[in-house]
Amino acid sequence: MLSYRHSYHAGNHADVLKHAILVQLLRYLGQKDKAFWVIDTHAGAGIYALDSIHAEKLGEYRDGIGRLWERQDLPPIFADYVAEVRALNGDGPLRAYPGSPWLAQRALREQDRLRLFELHGTDFRTLDSYFGQHGKQAMVYADDGFAHLKALLPPPPRRALTLIDPSYELREDYARLIQVLKDSLLRFPTGMYAIWYPMLAKPESKQLPHKLKALGVANWLHVSLSVRNPSPDGIGMHGSGMFIINPPWTLAQTLQSAMPWLVETLATDPGASFALEHESA
């Protein structure tokens, strides 16, 4: 688990999907004056240099945010997202990519709070250097977000978004995710939870959306994006998905209209596609 570094993958197609949705969830929470919390169980380094050795080694951002960067026909959900990435880069070229902590920090008001967990020592130190100097508003923990989420729920304002996106390098991450959600929903059933997962050949990856739906929550949304056909050898991530518990009621319609554009923009072969399903009480 400690070997994973998101800096190799920052800004790729999975980040585009995850962070575009995250921006919309944060916008929704900010519509009311009442405070909210954002809890990120696997926060990473927070900000990534796209001209670093790590990012350039795989260059995945070129087929992710790089394909949206100069587009003039962005649907509103992706225009909002690209505007956030531009805010980090100023008026210059695409050189830096914001992780979820940076996007969340941007959305906070004085009354809101951010809680970040990261176990990797190097990434924690980077994360803490960016976000650990904000007093009570943003707190950074060199700890296991899975293990400590329960202690933060429910948060005092009874409004929160919990982002859960582990590396899934360990098979037990899948089972831990389901158990953590069961525990969290018992403590805080009205919270918003955003779960990211990779689309892999592994059976655990294929089964995860079904297990999430089997949790029995009344309101959920599931969207997945595949940018190519799965590799014949089963190696590699061909797409990713987001499963949101208690989503904004407008999100399904927003994604239904915007996802065909994203498929066309990020496709690397004719197998690219998306799927969207949702349920509400």
Going residue by residue through the chain, which has 281 residues, state the pLDDT in tens, using 9 for 90 and above.
455 667 678 999 999 999 999 999 999 999 999 999 999 999 999 999 998 877 677 789 999 999 999 999 999 999 999 999 999 999 889 999 999 999 999 999 999 999 999 998 899 999 999 898 767 899 999 999 999 999 999 999 999 999 999 989 888 999 999 999 999 999 999 999 999 999 999 999 999 999 999 999 999 999 999 999 999 888 889 999 999 999 999 999 999 999 999 999 999 999 999 999 999 98
Question: Residue ranges of the domains in the chain?
Answer: 6-219
pLDDT of residue 4: 61
pLDDT for the residue 1 = 44
Residue 2 has a pLDDT of 52
Domain 6-219: assigned CATH number: 3.40.50.150
Bond from prior residue into 154 cis (ω within 30 degrees of 0):
yes
Distances (CA, A) of 202 to 162, 208, 233: 25, 10, 12
| Residue type (1 letter), 273 | S
Give the distance, in angstroms, between the CA of residue 257 and the centroid of all CA atoms in the same chain: 20
Residues in the chain, overall count = 281
One-letter amino acid of 19: H
CA distance 233 to 236: 9
Whole-prediction pTM:
0.95
Per-residue confidence (pLDDT) for residue 3, from 0 to 100 = 56
Which residues carry out catalysis? Answer: 165
pLDDT value at position 134?
Answer: 66
Give the span between the Cα atoms of 86 and 13, in whole angstroms: 17
CA distances from 139 to 131, 148, 262 (A): 7, 13, 34
Tokens representing residue 136 in the block? 């009570």
Give the pLDDT score at 256: 98
